[in-house]
Amino acid sequence: MLSVKQAVILAGGRGTRLQPLTDTVPKPMILMNGKPFLEYLIGLLKENGICEIVLLLGYLPEKITEYFGDGSRFGVKIKYSISDLSDETGTRIKKAEELLQEFFLLTYCDNYLPLDLKKLVEFHEKQKTMASVTIYTNKDKITKNNVFVDEKGYVITYDRTRQAKDLNGVDVGFFILSKKITEWMPGENFSFQNVIIPKLIENHQLSGYLVDYRYYSIGSLERLPLTERFLQPKKVIFLDRDGVINKKPPKAEYVKKWNEFEFLPGAIEALELLTKNGYHVYLITNQAGIARGVMTESDLRSIHEHLQRELHNNKAKIDGIYYCPHGWDENCECRKPKPGMFFQAARDHQLDLSKTVFIGDDERDLQAGNAAGVKTILVTPEKNLLQVVHSLLGSTANKRIDTYYTLFESLLETYMKSDKTRFIVSIAGCSRSGKTILAKKIQEDLKGKKIPSTIIPLDNWLLGLNERKGNETVRERYQYTKISETITRLKHGEKIYPPVYDSQTRQVTQKKNSTPLYIEEHGIGIIDGIVSLDIEDVRNLSDYHIYVDINDTVRIQRLKEFYIDYKKCSTKQTEKIIKSREIDEVPIIKKTKDYADAIYTMNESDFT
């Protein structure tokens, strides 16, 4: 099989459609969720086995070379070919000829889609043409088509004006090319799209690999918000319904009414766990009973409304329901084993299907998931939905870490594998469990590794005593919205001047600290706060979640010492405060243990 290990990225243009953003940075360095778009593209290529990347630069090249360097920080080798700003795309490729491998992947710097390079290479080898290009089928008509691909997979028409009739797709880049293509290139300044693509078509040497994955672009200002949403990290699970959530009816029979719907053991608990851990859950289900006339779409809606109410009562939810009402002989795009429902959900919610999981129960589910590029797991009589979810999340027992060394190595490994511009660690646990001690220890050891870090103490966002009503839970005492906004801004590289809270007087003594909080590029922000795993936005922004556990007897003794020795409270006042916190704080915080990636139990030696 052909091996493609090199990618060449056209990244030299001026990016005039993105002005004024591109007045000071080149187009691929536009920030998406706090890091350059080009960093996402390089991450995608690396995930597909690309080892070497050649960047073809022209406009403000130093902005790119200074950020990416030799690529080692991103797990790839990066080479640069820098030419005049006036050079067109074809000329840039020609000038990089000495850097090109025998076969390479050519991409634009402003398009992204869930590439499966292995499938693209298999298609290219089957077609036996000099070049292949990825074509988005554009079934949702997000833009005008510019390509026609015939039934044999050959590109017949390429129209950059998008005026020709009967076009059936959009060129999104991701070409597989032979280095021999340079022999077709003229000596004068030329465009790859205007000169080489027409020549390939004329000689029947360009194949079109059709994909239903929607592509996302930074080609114009109006496209940026949608692309940024797509690139945001999301935890997504797709579920089949019958046989996964509820008991599957016999063949050719259907669940037609709510009283025929019977939850399978552990299904509700599994959905509660997914909801609690911040997953978006989407249902993907064939419902041919509608086509057969034994039930109506209204009947199905009623079943799903009851299902959602039952889940809501158990603190669980399904974020979206996709169903196919057609019969097997209607040749629709949505009935599994076809992947149409997955693609529709991806378009509706800006999902990268390659980063999602589908849990089904039969061969059709497996085929549909594979066709959509979704990791697919089947439940079995021996392993139900709850057990699969436990495996995905990792049981509490598997999260427990006995030694600080193991904890730090786990955190460091996660950081090194991450492609985040700024990495966030959340440390939660009950009051006086040792969170601050742990945060400082981690910071100290990161310094030894030459990794910059900043501790973010959430107590700065406690309400002052004069602002409290006296009957709040821990959720009302902390300003959740302001904390979420602050962590978001820090993740995007802003400097934040937090308020100052005096724990002894329990008052906000300064509205703005003179010393800012700031997370350096490729640095780590360490959130120190009992509620850090209880705030959904903060959980989602965090890349590693630690829950600090402690023996209750030790914890309460430390609380007493804190209030009596430090705050100078009387024994009676101290007991009253502790009793109150055991009611309005401890149960809430202990539940957040379920969100942790690591549960570390503090020992007496940690406090010395």
Q: Which pLDDT value is given to residue 604?
A: 59
The answer to the question of residue 226 being in a domain is no
292/300 Cα distance (integer angstroms): 13
Same domain, 206 and 312: no
Check whether residue 85 and residue 145 sit in a common domain.
yes
Whole-angstrom distance, CA of residue 260 vs CA of residue 265: 16
* Residue whose pair of structure tokens reads 């997955």 in the numeric block: 342
The answer to whether residue 228 sits within a structural domain is no
Which segment of 103-117, 387-401, 429-443 scores lowest on mean pLDDT?
A: 387-401
What single-letter amino acid sits at 186?
A: P
What's the whole-number mean pLDDT along residues 527-553? 92
CA atoms within 13 A on the CB side of 325: 13
Alpha helix segments (H runs only) across 449-564: 474-477, 480-491, 536-541, 552-561
Considering the domain architecture, whether residues 43 and 171 belong to the same structural domain is answered as: yes
pTM of full prediction above 0.75 = no
Nearest alpha-carbon partner for 176 in 136, 117, 94? 117
Whether residue 553 is predicted with pLDDT greater than 90 in this model: the reply is no
CA distance from start to end of the chain = 60
Q: Are residues 311 and 404 in the same domain?
A: no
Question: In this structure, are 444 and 415 located in the same domain?
Answer: yes
Mean pLDDT of the chain: 92
Residues 21 and 129 in one domain: yes
Count of CA atoms in the C-beta half-sphere (13 A) of 157: 17
139-148, 181-190, 429-438, 565-574: least confidently modelled range: 565-574
The model's pLDDT over 168-193, given as tens digits with 9 standing for 90+, comes to 999 999 999 999 999 999 999 999 99
User: What is the model's pLDDT at position 456?
Assistant: 97
pLDDT at 153: 96
Inside any domain, residue 204: yes
The pair of structure tokens assigned to 559 is 């609380």
Which single residue is written with the structure tokens 């993740």? Answer: 491
390: pLDDT strictly greater than 90: no
Specify whether the backbone of 520 is left (phi greater than 0), alpha (psi in -120 to 50) or beta: beta
554 occurs within a structural domain: yes
Assess whether 87 carries a catalytic annotation. Answer: no
Answer yes or no: is 262 within a domain: yes
Q: Which of 240, 299, 365, 534 is catalytic?
A: 240
DSSP letter, residue 215:
P
pLDDT band at 582 (very low <50, low <70, confident <90, very high): confident
327 lies in some domain: yes
Given a cut of 60, is residue 516 above it in pLDDT? yes
Kind and range of the H or E run holding 281: strand 280-286
> How far, CA to CA in Å, does 518 sit from each of 484, 487, 489?
15, 10, 9
Of the residues 171, 242, 299, 534, only one is catalytic, namely 242
Q: Pairing relation of β-strands 507-510 and 131-136?
A: unpaired
Say yes or no: 170 and 298 in one domain.
Answer: no
- State which of 393, 416, 445 marks the end of a domain: 393
3-state secondary structure of 437: helix
Catalytic-residue membership of 110 = no
Please say if the pLDDT value at position 608 is more than 70.
no
The contacts of residue 372 (CB under 8 Å, 6+ apart) are 339, 342, 343, 353, 358
Query: Tell me: the pLDDT tens digits for 277-315?
Result: 889 999 999 999 999 999 999 999 999 999 999 999 998
Whether 439 and 422 have beta carbons less than 8 Å apart is answered as: no
- Distance CA(523)–CA(453), nearest Å, equals 5
Residue at which a domain ends, from 193, 220, 247:
220
Q: Does pLDDT of 42 surpass 80?
A: yes
Which sign, positive or negative, has the C-alpha torsion 382, 383, 387, 391?
positive
More confident residue, 581 or 199: 199
Token readout for 190 is 């030329």
387 and 429 in a single domain? The answer is no
* pLDDT attached to residue 397: 54
114, 112, 92: which is closest to 10 by C-alpha? 92
Q: Taking 70 as the threshold, does the pLDDT of residue 450 lie above it?
A: yes
* SS3 assignment, position 230: helix
- Residue 90's nearest CA partner among 211, 27, 210, 183 is 183
pLDDT of residue 607: 56
* CATH number of the structural domain spanning residue 597: 3.40.50.300
Tell me the two tokens of residue 321. 């329901």
Q: Assess whether 436 and 338 both reside in one domain.
A: no
Condensed to tens digits (0 to 9), the pLDDT of residues 119-133 reads: 999 999 999 999 999
- Whether 99 and 133 map to the same domain: the answer is yes
The pair of structure tokens assigned to 219 is 């080609």
Q: Give Cα separations from 608 to 429, 438, 605 (angstroms).
A: 19, 12, 5
* 100 pLDDT higher than 80: yes
* Percent of the chain's residues with pLDDT above 90: 75
Q: Are 190 and 91 in contact (CB under 8 A)?
A: yes
Q: Do 258 and 306 meet the contact criterion of CB atoms below 8 Å apart?
A: yes
Structural contact between residues 396 and 378, judged by C-beta atoms closer than 8 angstroms:
no
Q: How many domains does the chain have?
A: 3
CA distance 469 to 476: 10
Amino acid at 568: K
Lowest mean pLDDT among 83-87, 273-277, 379-383: 273-277
* Average of per-residue pLDDT across 404-431: 89
> Are 448 and 581 in the same domain?
yes
Chain centroid to Cα 449, Å, comes to 27
52 within some domain: yes
Identify any residues that bridge with 79 across adjacent strands, giving them in sequence order.
54
- Claim to verify: residue 382 and residue 425 sit in the same structural domain: no
**pLDDT of res. 393:** 81
Q: CA of 196: how far to CAs of 7, 160, 199, in Å? A: 18, 13, 5
The alpha-helical segments, DSSP class H, found in 378-535 are 385-393, 396-399, 404-417, 435-448, 474-477, 480-491
Which whole number is the average pLDDT over 146-162? Answer: 95
Q: Domain with 353 in it: what CATH number?
A: 3.40.50.1000
Confidence of residue 469 (pLDDT cuts 50, 70, 90): confident
Q: Is the pLDDT of residue 395 over 80?
A: no
Of 393, 420, 455, the last residue of a domain is 393
pLDDT of residue 278: 83
Structure tokens, 33: 């969720």
CATH number at residue 89: 3.90.550.10
Q: Does 519 reside within a domain? A: yes
Once rounded to an integer, what is the mean pLDDT over residues 371-383?
94
**Domain limits for position 414:** 396-607
